[in-house]
Amino acid sequence: MLRVKQVECPFFYGNLGGTAVIFRPLCRLRDGFFACIKDYLYNPKVLLRKKRQEQLLLFTQERGIIAMEMKDRLQELANRAKRLIEEAESPEKLNDARVAFLGKKGELTAMLKSLRDVAPEDRPAVGQLVNETRERIEAMMEDSRKNFEKKLLEQKLKTEVIDVTLPAKKSRIGHRHPNSIALEEVERIFIGMGYEVVEGPEVEYADYNFTKLNIPEDHPARDEQDTFFINDKILLRSQTSPVQARTMEKGILPIRMIAPGRVFRSDEVDATHSPSFHQIEGLVIDKHITFADLKGTLEEFARELFGPETKTKFRPHHFPFTEPSAEVDVSCFKCGGKGCRFCKGSGWIEILGCGTVHPNVLRMCGIDPEEYTGFAFGVGLERIALLKYEIDDMRLLYENDARFLKQF
Ligand code: DAH
């Protein structure tokens, strides 16, 4: 009769360490050790019959059995690893195998931990064996990995055709926008005349955009159709003229400034309109400034910008913040004033609005109109860029197509 009993066993097989079900009479060893090996654990009866003699021989040294078992197990593990590596049909599967055997929680690592159960005198040899097994598995994995790489490359070479005779792609550097080029030109001209370049906010108080510029509450220019209001008091500035008021309010006189910047109007996009465009404001305040100074300044500006032959014409106009006001035309730089397609046959091209600063504006901005006078002007930047570079559609300026931009 076979008696099977569960006992504390210092030996183990695989991950069964700790306790094992063993057949006592067969496996009782000296000093109360019990031995168990795989076949025996799994099927004591079979073991008893077939392997009795063999096993008895093996069991003669208590902890030596573990060393021997470790050898068997390492061999078995290496065989299994080899099989898995050979069968892996993808790098992912190969990686799974790596994790299963060599990973932190992998089988080989577990084996390394179980070295403590091996007799101290056997540990170096068994330890070395574990390392050798690791190296063997690693080498097999490396071979397999290289194999996968090679196959992948072959596959790529087969499917991807590279024409080495094609010219290389040129790396292109950016290009300044026509607006920027035109603005720098305008700035250069005015800085040359002693002007300062200042900036103002794009989100502005209605007070600065309108009231302080002598545009009272009921003025049609306040119509919401024209302007993007944020609330009753705040809007996206519809002109750069509020920078005039902001500069005057600072009270530092005299003033000689230009203020370029973005402005907004509730306009539909077409060849000559955009809801967002740019203006350059100009303002001069000093003692004894007259309309003659304005004329001289803008004539010089036009000659610098469009060529020394350029003539200017001041047409009376109305702006609430200047009195008198004018619009300025320049002689067509294409036909010299004879009339062409560019100037629509008139020989003149309108470029800006201007005038002497209204005394109301000076007063509202804290300047005594009896002591100081001044002039102001406003130029559309896009208008200058379109004219200078003979561009016939404003939309081209906003599309940022590199093929278009690089022409200027
Ligand atoms: N702000 C005006 C506009 O947007 C342009 C302008 C006209 C500005 C006359 C001025 C000026 O400073 O004096 O149409």
Q: What is the pLDDT of residues 126-153, one digit of tens each?
A: 888 888 999 999 999 999 999 999 999 9
pLDDT at residue 225 in the model: 64
- CB 320 near ligand 1, within 6 Å: no
Query: Could you tell which of 212, 236, 295, 321 is best to mutate to test the pocket of ligand 1, judged by most ligand atoms within 8 Å of the CB?
Result: 321
Nearest atom in ligand 1 to the alpha carbon of residue 355 is 13
Pocket test for ligand 1, best of 358, 377, 383 (most atoms within 8 A of CB): 377
What does the pLDDT average to over 268-295? Answer: 95
Angle at 21 between CA 20 and CA 22, to 5 degrees: 105
Q: Is 380 in the pocket of ligand 1 (CB under 6 A)?
A: no
Alpha-carbon gap, residue 359 to 368, rounded angstroms: 8
79-136 pLDDT tens trace: 989 998 999 898 899 888 888 888 888 888 888 887 777 767 777 888 888 889 999 9
CATH fold of 178-405, please?
Answer: BirA Bifunctional Protein; domain 2 (3.30.930)
pLDDT tens digits for 295-316? 999 999 999 999 999 999 999 9
Tell me how far apart the alpha carbons of residues 7 and 28 are, in angstroms, rounded to a whole number.
Answer: 11
Whether ligand 1 lies within 6 angstroms of the CB of 391 is answered as: no
Structure confidence by residue, pLDDT tens digits, 51-62? 443 443 344 334
What residues does each domain of the chain span? 4-158, 178-405
**pTM greater than the 0.85 cutoff:** no
Q: Does residue 262 surpass a pLDDT of 90?
A: yes
Residues 116, 121, 127, 133, Cα dihedral to 10°: -120
